[in-house]
Each structure stands twice: as C-alpha cells, then as structure tokens.
Amino acid sequence: MFRFFKRKSAPETAAPEVTAEVAPEAITALAALQLDAPAEAAPAVDPAAATRSEAEPSQAAVLVAEEQPTSGWFSRLRSGLRKTGSGISGLFGGSKIDEALYEELESALIMADAGMPATTALLADLRRRVKSARAETPAQVRALLADALADLLSPLQKPLDIGRQNPTVLMMVGVNGAGKTTTIGKLTQHLLRADEKVLLAAGDTFRAAAREQLVAWGQRNQVQVISQEGGDPAAVAFDAVSAGKAREMDVVIVDTAGRLPTQLHLMEELKKVKRVTAKAMDGAPHEILLVIDANNGQNALAQVRAFDDALGLTGLVITKLDGSAKGGVIAAIARERPVPVYFIGVGESLDDLQTFDAKAFARALVGE
C-alpha cells in the first residue's frame, strides 16, 4: 500500500518547553496582540469567560485496522467510481473506432461533470494517441483514454508533507455538509497510525453539534481537543497552535465552520483565522485544505475557485465519490484550477479515505 503521508525531517530548532497549562497563557498573549480585524472588530477575550475546555483522551484502546494491499484499495476505488464511470466504461464494447465513439465519449465526460475545457483537451489528446499508437479497437482506445486522463490529473497528485514544521498546522475549510469533521477524524486516525502526535481545534464555535462531533472523534482517537462554546474561532485556533507548540505536537488540525463562498462576512472570518494562526506560529497554517463533496459537480469547481482566491488553498480532499456520478469534476479542477488533491473518499470506513493516485483513478474511471 502506498504511503499515506510524506514525513519530512524535523527542523533543527529546539522544541519549546512543555508547560502544564497552556490555554490561560495563550489567552493572555492573544489579548495583548493587536489583531487586524477584517470587517468587524474582534470581541475582547475575557480570560475568565474564555477558558478553553479540553476533551481528555478516553481510556479505550485505539483501533488500528490492518493496512490493505494496493489491489484492495483499487477494487474499492473502482467500485466507488461505478456511478461516474458507468457511462464511460460501457462505450468500448464495439468493434470499430469511429466518430460516433468520440461523440459518445464527449457526452459521457460532460455528464460526469468533467466540463467542456477538460473534455475538449482530453479528446484532442486521445485522438493524437490513437493515431500514434495505430489503435484499431475500442478496447485499445479505453487504455489510451486512461493514459490521457492520468496525464491530465498527474499534477494534482502530491503527498501531504508532515514534519517540515513542528507542529504542522492544517486548517480545514469547506461548505456545510461536505464531510469536513468526519474527514478530520479519519485523517487523525491515519496520522496516529504513522505515530504522529495530533491536537484538534474545534473552530466551529457556534454550532454545538459540530463541536460535540469533533470532541467525539477526539475521544475515539485518544487525542485532545481545544474547544470553547460560543467564542471567537480565531482565538480557539490561536490557543490550539500555542498549545501544540508547547506540548511538542506533530500536527495541529484546526476545524472551521462550514460556509458558502457567497457569505462574504464568513469568508472574512476565515481570513482572520488564517492571520491569527500566523501570529501564534510563523508560517502557519502550513496547509489549508478544502473539503468538497463530489456530488456538487461543477459547483465544487466554483468552491475551489472561491476558497482559493480568498485563502490560497494548498490542497483538496474530495469526499463521497462513491455516491456521485460527477467524479469527473476532478478533471475540470485539473484543467481550470489545479490545486493538489491530497485525499479522496469512496466510502464510510477509515480505509475508504486514501491518497489520490492519478493513474489508479483514471483506470478505475474508464473501467480498466
């Protein structure tokens, strides 16, 4: 099985001393900072009222599933992409290569939400490959289409680097319902498998259900969660990063409230979280990951554009590919806004979230 994360060598700078209680000190430090409020003035932080609660690790043992072979993952990937790929894979049963085949491929790719620019580029590349290879059967066209699609998607294939900074700070963003909190829980489990020390920050401070869900994932994974009911999301992020530095954590994952890109005041709040996180640690957040639901199709591409313009995305997590017929949107992203795809999800289990492999995805999509 391919490696889930790429571990970088730890920096040579000495780690900060571990302190018993970090949150009150972090609150005091935050209150002393002169933060640049975006559109609204940030509420004053009251140390008495803003005491952070931390979900203590449960006593239950962490369940670590055995690593599945690559072939097992490919089988799940192909099964998960059945809805998207059914319209494409069924086109290669004929006996000849003609213009009708290319027209049917064009329709199938557009129906899979690959978008017109990516579809046009793919078919032009495919025609060149068919001519160069002197292909004679639709079955050969299938293999050549997989190669063309893999080449289009390959710039998106990139591992998530962990360890270049200590801690590595991940900021998770996305619209409501994309699967952001569940993705955080699964990423945490994968990080624990790699012996990384993880701290979570419940940055969705106004939805009790979101905070409780993240705390539940923290207890399940035996990791601590920095949270505050009804507080300033930027303050929670600041405290979490400060705590992560003091406790010598490897990774701090900051959750944020779901929002639509059209909600400008909420997008400004995300920018504030990013700025305040940088005040807690130079260069943070080191990764800004957008979680998108594959069922949104071309709307997912619009989300990538909007969040990338606002925050400067470093990576994507694409969820729910198993329930979508619109998985071709990854081709549209590759053509129009090539932000790396770190992970894809094709099911509910832990092992159904894996690193993105362009060649495997292309083969599964065309039914090879």
Assigned token pair, 45: 């932080």
Q: What is the DSSP letter of 95?
A: S
pLDDT digits (tens, 9 = 90+) for 282-327: 999 999 999 999 999 999 999 999 999 999 999 999 999 987 788 8
pLDDT digits (tens, 9 = 90+) for 347-357: 888 778 899 99
Cβ atoms 31, 44 nearer than 8 A:
yes
Domain topology for 23-30+52-58+71-368: Rossmann fold (3.40.50)
Cβ atoms 179, 322 nearer than 8 A:
no
Assigned token pair, 147: 């190669």
Torsion of CA 149, 154, 156, 158, to 10 degrees: 150
pLDDT digits (tens, 9 = 90+) for 43-93: 343 433 333 444 444 333 333 333 344 557 678 888 778 877 778 988 998
Query: Looking at residue 287, what is its pLDDT?
Result: 98
Give the Cα separation of 327 and 305 in Å (integer): 17
Helix (H, G, I), strand (E, B) or coil at 49: coil
- Provide the CA 347 distance to its chain's centre, in angstroms: 15
Sign of dihedral through CA atoms 227, 231, 237, 238?
A: negative
Residue spans of the domains in the chain: they are: 23-30+52-58+71-368
The mean pLDDT of 198-212, rounded to a whole number, is: 91
pLDDT digits (tens, 9 = 90+) for 249-267: 999 999 999 988 888 888 9
